Every structure is written in C-alpha cells, then in structure tokens.
Chain A
Amino acid sequence: MQMKKAMVISMIAAAISATAVTPVFAQTAAGQHAVQIEQSTFLVNANPYSIRTIVDGDVTLASVRDITNALGATLHINKDHTVVVKFGNNTVKLKIASKTIDVNGVATPLNYPAKEVAYSTFIEPQAFVKALGGTYEDNTISTVQLLEGAERAVWVNSSQLIVSNTADKGREDYLVNAATGKYELLLASEDTSDLILSPDGRSAAYSDANGAVYTIDLSSKKSTQISTDDSIKNELQWSKDGTSLFFLQGDKSSVIAKLTVADGKVSKVLEDKVDYKANLEISTDGTKFAFYVFKQPKVTADSNKDVELDDVAIDATGTEPQIYYYNTAAADNKPVQLTKDTADKVFLKLSADGSKVSYISESADDASIGQLITVDNTGKASTPLFAEKDVYQLVQGGSKLYLLTADGNSTNAIYEIDSATGASRLVQTVTDRASELIISNNSDIAALIEGQLAVFVNGNWKNITN
C-alpha cells in the first residue's frame, strides 16, 4: 500500500508539473534573449509550494530562493555575489554561471551552471536539493522521510502525536514530530486495541485479543502487562489521576468496569443488565459516568411458518440512542436516563465535573442539520448551543469543546465552544475533505485529510505525513 501511495504522489507531482505553469517573460541579466519564467508547484515534504522555474534548452532550472524558502533554509548573498544557503548541517555556496557548487567545502560539479534571470538565481533542482541533504524527483522534494499515511492520530503534547496505521499484520503506531514530521516506531502489534494515552502523556494503554491489558512507556517504548483478566474490554479509558482504567466489559458492553493499574484487579462499577452501552465518559473524580444505550428494534418472526412467507416484522419504535448518567453516589445506585427524544445522537462528552453532557443531535429529517446540545445531569436540555451550521464532529480539547462544521465553498469550519457560557468562536477553516479533527489539551489542532495528517501551524495547514 505504501508503494501505491508513493506512486500516486509521483503521478500527482507529474501532473502538477505539466499543468501548473504560468509563464512570465523576462530578460536575462545579459539581456541577450527572453527567458520564460514559469510558476510550478512542487511538493516539498508533502506540502505544495509555488516554485519559479525556467526552461533552458532541454533542462529545467528552479529558483534557489523559492526552494530555500520552501525548505525553511536560510539564504545569504555575499558581496562577491556568492549565494550561500544553509540548511541543517549543510552549507551550499554557488555562483552564477559556475559549473560547480561548493557543498560543505567540497566543489561538486553541476550538469548545467546556475543562471540568473530577472535578478533571481536558478539552478538544477536535483543537484541543489541533494547538496542540501534531500532528494528530488519529478517536482517532489524530500528532506524528511515522512510517514506513509495516517488513519488515526492523537496529540501526546504540543510537539508530538501518536499516529496509527493498519499494517499487513495488525497495526503500527508511531510517534510523529508535529513540526517536522519526523517519526519513530512506537509499537507494532497484531491483535491490539487502539492506544489510549495516559493523562500525563507518558504512556498509553491497550488490550490484546485475549483481553489482557498493557501499558507502553512512550520514552522507552517498552510494554508492560498490567492485567491478565480475559474479559472483552471495549472503550478503555484512563481515570484522570492515571491510577485506573475504565472500560465497557463483555461482548455486549453491558458492564462498566474498572481496572486498577497497580495490581491489575478488575471490579465492576455498574452492572445493571442493560446491554450495548457505548461512548463511555467519565468525570474527573471518577464517580460520574455518561454513556449511550443502543436498544434493538423488536423483531416479530414465527419460526413455525414457512420461510418463503417472509413472516418477519421489525418495529424500531423507541430505539433511538439515549444518554444515561450514572453517579456512584446515587441513593438507588441506578443510572438516570437524560434524553428521551427521537433524534439520532452521536459523539458524547461529559464535563469534567460531571454536571452536564454535550452531544451532536441529528434529527430524523435528512435535510436538518447536526446541532450541539447540552443537557444537565438531571436531564434538563439547554437550547442548542450551536445550530448555525451543520455540525459533523464534536471533540474535546482540554476544558473546551470543538466542532467541525459545514462552511461552504469546499471548506469546513472549526469552532471553539466555551462550555461554561456557550459562546462560540470561529477558530479556523479546513478543507471539506477533512474526515476527523484532532485537538490537544493545549488546543493544538490537527486534521486527518484523506489519509494524511495535517497540523495547523503559523496560520497554515501543514502535512506531516505523506
């Protein structure tokens, strides 16, 4: 699959080079003949940049300054007109019309000398990029080997994310630098659940197909088994103090259970014989829980009748997902049903103090829009907190809520919601091809965009995986 992606990128790059051309005619410095300056799009470490190019005979030369800027390198012109470019540990010096460039003090031949056009220096991109320690092919420049693809991502801190991809056997999880895209393998596993980051960001928990639970230290990358309990565990979640893991237990997710990290013991928090709980949410103090219950439609079928008669009826009345709230201190020790309406519901967030839940409501009418609703822990609903635009996703980042919404004109919008006041603030826009928003506790923003991970830095979206 990785090869396929690389091929696609090359194909796109080739297509770009053939199409993204806007000619500008300029005189050469010597004024001898007109040279056509074109604007071409290069993929530089998976991000598109507009680079000026010229075609001189049968060779294409690219702007030294544009490549330098795209890479984030530094450029200086000496009094003797030597252009000096520094990138990482590499220093490249070049002169107009010279058949060599100086790479870290070593003269290196060029197939074609650098050329000045309209007061800008143009050079063979392959030789220039190689001199800077990168690779060049078909308008694609790579100075960092980026991870191929991103299916799931979570912020570890403001400078690092865990990015997960399906592998031939199981899954691979990587630690990826948010600024550069540099990555390192954290865990390669076959039968494990997604990694769930601990509150302190130093480790992650996961379970295997036998139900055993492990933690992995993000620094040493060593896994430690913390429980041998073999029950099915869905939706592992850390307690805020990092001493326990909560989960929905059993094939029908009917029990809320707690695993103590120190001794691996599993205890039941709620066993109410209600099946198919989902989207477990836990308050900071670990005593209040919110979750959906998915009821199944009632099916009437008489097994004594001829199969050919298709004597089957499905009654879905009253089976819309509903939100339940459980306070371990409740006198009757029973969950409370917070919602009863017929809207479909998706995403669920419990406030840190357990006083209210927020979710996206999708009414039965296909033409209606998704709305952010907040309900207090007695079931009293507020007016929709956000109903101006169709809401696609609800994400929590620290104490704030974030929405991915429709925006129009091929973009979606990202709103920040002050859960205390309900005030909304437009944070940023993103392509409408974004499938998922990822927000850190420090409000760092990333998005999965068609299998690529992009982070929002310095006012721009930057791809940090291929």
Chain B
Amino acid sequence: MKWFKQLTIAALIAVVGFSSVPASTSTVHAASKLTGKIVINGSSALLPLTLQAANEFKKLNPKVKISASAAGSITGPQAVRKGIADIGAVDWDATKDVPGFKKFDGQVAHKVAIIPFATVVNKNVGVTNLTTKDLQGIFSGKIKNWKDVGGKDAEIIVVNRTFGSGTRVNFQDKALDGTDFMTKGDNYKEVKTSGDMKTTIETTPNAIGYMDLAYVTDKMTALKINDIAPTEANVINGKYKVWGYGYFMTKGEPTGATKEFIEYIQSTKFQNGSLKKLKFIPISAIK
C-alpha cells in the first residue's frame, strides 16, 4: 500500500509542477506538439512581416513547414479559394466588395497589421508636399509636369502597381478618393511588387509612386499629403488617412498550424516587437 501512496503523491506533484500556469500566449506550448504545412500567398507589402513571423514561429514549432510568396494582394484570396494556399495575405478585407474586386464568399478575414502607405518620389524631385487634388491630377494623367505642382520644369513619370495590388486599392481609395488611375502613356509605368516599386522610384528621375511606409528608403522622398507627413504617429492620431489593415484570409475558420500561426502574428509579443521593428503598426493601435 505504501508504494501506491508514494506513487500517487509523486504523480500529483509532477502534474502540479508542470501545469500550474497557463500559457501566456496561445502559441507557447510544447515544441513537439504542432505539425503541418502552411502555404501563404498574396500581398508583397505583407511579405516581410509574414516571413519574420514564420521564422520566429518555426523556432517554437520546428515541425511546421511554412512557405510564403507574394504576387499581389488579389492572388492571396484567389489562391485560398483555389485551394492552393492556406492563407491569403491581402491589404484589404476581401470578405467585402472593394473598387475593382468582388468579395470572396466563405473566407474569413483576420487582421494582422496596420499598413501606412506613402507617396514617394525620386530624390531629384524637389517637391515635398502635395494636396489630394494634386495627387488626383498626377495619377489620372491630367497633371504632367512637376512645375504645375510647385516643382521644377520636368515631366512627371507615374509609377503604378499592377491591377490586383492591395497597395493600389488602398492608395486609390484613400489618397485619390477613388479617382481612376491613368492606364497608359510614355510617362507611365506599372510594376508588379513593392520591391519593384522601390527600385523603380530609386532609379527613375522625376518618378512618383506609392508604397507601404516600411519600404521607404533614404534614396527616395516620402511626401506629405495636405501638409501631413506619413508617420506612424499621424496614422494613430487620425491625421494621416492613407493606411489600411493587412489581413490573412482563410477558407472558413482556420485550424491546426494555420490557426496557431495567425494567433502568433496577432499576439501582443509579436505585434509590439517584431511587427513594430519592421515599421508596421500594431492592430491594437487604432480602436
């Protein structure tokens, strides 16, 4: 009988010792438990964030394989609907209609970040501020020369993202108040990704384009809009309007590794840590 008592007590102590405090975040659990493969596709603006989260998540869950790619926001929910991706990264809520795109039925949108977008110009452009009306004129092709908006006498090169870009959807909606883009011309270029936009703006004199704030480099100038600088503070205080939520879309409610990964990227630890370091804004910053 005595051995049984000792065994019982020992077992209880073992149980107590290792179960007294619940995980502080839902993803803190035994490294061995979670398996699976997560395929993510969509927004190039969200790709650095996705890959950073993936790298951190895999150290906690080494049995989970994660593949992340970017070819523009619209390809995210498309890939999910087609069944070739578990997560569609997109710069708008794809469960709702937006200009140019119908909603994706049956998908669930998970907010993962706030993305500020900036209007950017090549370093040789002397302009530092444009009004909404100036932007509407430039991106619709009606204003063609920098001298018409306070700059030097030089033709404006408009660099646009291709159809399907979430950055494009947000910029058209929030910076241009819905004004249509120009679609062709000698001084008009389209690029497929945020990375291509960065390279093009940095290397093309007199160019103007737009990108998420995190991609702005010291080889370009981020413009004020209506005298408001594109800063995190101005997004949070409501003065700067050109921003959007980044979403992870899933087919129905996520399960398994996909659910855990989304919870990781939404966790306070990641949002306040790596997400801010990459110059995104936590989803909790705007109520």
Contacts and interface: CB of A to CB of B under 8 A. Distances in A.
Interface of A: 1, 5, 8-9, 12, 16, 19-20, 22, 24, 39, 41, 43, 46-50, 149, 151, 165-166, 169-171, 190-194, 207, 209, 232-234, 251-253, 275-276, 278-279, 294, 296-301, 303-304, 307-308, 310-314, 316, 319, 344, 346-347, 360, 362, 364, 366, 370, 390, 392-393, 404, 406, 412, 431-436, 448-452, 461, 463, 466
Given A50-B13, A232-B277, A450 B22 contact: yes
A166 B272 contact: yes
Contacts of A304: 163
Given A47-B17, A50-B9, A166-B269, 15 more contacts: A12-B16, A20-B9, A41-B13, A166-B25, A251-B279, A279-B55, A294-B51, A307-B102, A308-B102, A313-B84, A316-B69, A392-B62, A431-B18, A450-B21, A450-B22
B209 interface: no
Contact of B17 (A48, A166, A296): A48
B28 A251 contact: no
Interface string B8-22: 110011101111111
Given A193-B277, A232-B278, A436-B60, A22 B8 contact: yes
Contacts of A393: 31, 59, 62
A248 to B, nearest CB: 10
A308 B58 CA distance: 34
Contacts of A450: 18-19, 21-23, 28-29
Contacts of B8: 20, 22
A300 B272 CA distance: 34
B214 interface: yes
B163 A8 contact: no
A347 B102 CA distance: 42
Interface string B73-94: 0110011011011000000000
Contacts of B5: 22, 24, 39
Given A39-B9, A233-B277, A346-B62, A461 B69 contact: no
A435 B31 contact: yes
Nearest to B4: A22
A12 B21 CA distance: 9
B47 interface: yes
Contact of A370 (B25, B28, B63, B82): B63
B286 interface: no
Contacts of A194: 273
B162 A151 contact: no
Which 8 A-B pairs rank lowest in CB-CB distance, beginning with the nearest? A299-B71, A48-B16, A392-B31, A451-B24, A297-B69, A431-B18, A310-B82, A209-B276
Contact of B9 (A22, A404, A449): A22
Contacts of B20: 8-9, 12, 43, 46, 48, 452, 463, 466
B29 A170 contact: no
Contacts of B84: 312-314
Contacts of A12: 16, 19-20
Contacts of A278: 51, 55
B65 A296 contact: no
A398 B19 CA distance: 31
B72 A301 contact: yes
A435 B9 CA distance: 25
Contact of A347 (B24, B47, B62, B79): B62
Given A234-B277, A299-B69, A301-B78, A452 B21 contact: yes
29 contacts: A16-B16, A41-B9, A166-B269, A169-B272, A171-B272, A194-B273, A232-B214, A232-B278, A251-B48, A278-B55, A296-B47, A297-B69, A299-B41, A301-B72, A301-B74, A307-B74, A307-B78, A310-B78, A310-B82, A314-B85, A346-B59, A347-B59, A366-B35, A366-B63, A370-B63, A404-B31, A412-B32, A435-B31, A436-B60
Contacts of B163: 303-304
Contacts of B74: 301, 303, 307
A41 B16 contact: yes
A370 B62 contact: yes
Nearest to A233: B277
Given A16-B12, A22-B5, A392 B32 contact: yes
A41 to B, nearest CB: 5
A43 B15 CA distance: 12
Interface in B168-215: 195, 214-215
B67 interface: yes
B3 to A, nearest CB: 12
B206 to A, nearest CB: 25
B52 interface: yes
A412 B32 CA distance: 9
Q: Which of B21, B59, B71, B274 has the most CB of A within 10 A?
A: B21
Nearest to B163: A303
Given A22-B5, A433-B18, A461-B17, A252 B32 contact: no
B78 A303 contact: no
A20 B269 CA distance: 36
A435 B30 contact: yes
A252 B81 contact: no
Contacts of B23: 450-451
B70 interface: yes
B68 interface: yes
Contacts of B30: 412, 432-435
B28 A303 contact: no
Given A209-B279, A347-B59, A149 B24 contact: yes
B279 A149 contact: no
B16 A312 contact: no
A9 B21 contact: yes
B75 A312 contact: yes
